[in-house]
Amino acid sequence: MYQKEINIHGFRHILHEHETVSPDHMIQKSDAFYQRLNKRRSIREFNDKDVSKIVIENIIKTASTAPSGAHKQPWTFCAISNKDLKHQIRIAAEAEEKETYENRMGERWKNDLAAMATDMHKPFLEIAPWIIVAFKRAFEYEEDGSKHNNYYVNESVGLACGMLITAIHNAGLVTLTHTPSPMKFLTRLLKRPDNERAFLLLPVGYPKEPVYVPDLKRKSLDQVAVFYE
């Protein structure tokens, strides 16, 4: 039997019980997971059907298992189902988007987006039963009021958001990574402290039925991977 715990530099380390998978099962399991994730699509049209708060809590708990720089977990997920607040977010997001689509985007960007059938109108912000806003915590305040920066904040919150999207898909729900820019209005509307910056906004719910998505193709393995054997 292994020791249940050891001490490294004065810190307690506990025995990790790794779930082992046999090599054959691993091939099958990894392929099955890929097949499921490959069915995920960004959805822009939602149904207003309710989603239990417990599901949203589980999804956020999953995201929050992500690794982070020095385990600082530099994220806060705000989950909004309040209709009035969703309305205010829509109004403010559309105002930024109008400016973006009309004045901030170049022709090339607009052309690249044509296939996505997206525009400055964001009704999903009110229709989807939940909006999750991921905030990154750039720094933390000590009890004495002094500040210290977190580490690898974008990487950490990006990882957590990837796991959030995976958890949403796993729950049988859909989402969209919406990036109204700038997102300062979210700090104001959600009354977040000044060490938090909005990172990504995700409506979560069921898709409208029927729903159509652009006929996009994913890059093949040899376009995205290089093996050195």
CA distance 164 to 64: 8
Angle, helices 23-37/153-170, rounded to nearest 10 degrees: 90
Q: CA–CA separation, 54 vs 65, rounded Å?
A: 17
Nearer to ligand IYR, 44 or 150 (CB): 44
147 beta partners: 141
- Least separation in angstroms between CB 42 and ligand IYR: 8
Q: Which is nearer to ligand IYR, 88 or 150 (CB)?
A: 88
Q: Which is nearer to ligand IYR, 27 or 116 (CB)?
A: 116
Smallest gap from Cβ 83 to ligand IYR, in A, equals: 21
Q: Which is nearer to ligand IYR, 26 or 117 (CB)?
A: 117
Q: Identify the H or E element spanning 203.
A: strand 196-205
* Tokens matching residue 138: 């750039």
Residue 14's SS3 state is strand
Q: Which residue is nearest to ligand IYR (CB)?
A: 179
The stretches of 12-152 forming alpha helices (DSSP H) are 23-37, 53-63, 83-99, 107-114, 124-127
Q: Which of residues 159-188 bind ligand IYR (CB under 6 A)?
A: 178-181
Burial 187-208 (b: 16+ CB within 10 A, else e): bebbebeebbbbbbbbbbbbbb
Q: How far apart are CA 167 and CA 171, in angstroms?
A: 6
28 in contact with ligand IYR (CB under 6 A): no
Site string for ligand IYR, 85-114 (x = CB under 6 A): ------------x---------------x-
**Nearest distance, CB of residue 208 and ligand IYR, angstroms:** 17
Residue number with CB closer to ligand IYR (122 or 136): 122
Nearest distance in Å: CB 100, ligand IYR: 6
CB-based contacts of 174, cutoff 8 Å, min separation 6: 41, 42, 43, 46, 168, 204, 205, 206, 207
Is the CB of 105 or the CB of 163 nearer to ligand IYR? 105
What is the contact mask toward ligand IYR in residues 116 to 135, using x (rule: CB under 6 A)?
x-x-----------------
| Residues engaged in binding ligand IYR (CB under 6 A) | 97, 113, 116, 118, 178-181
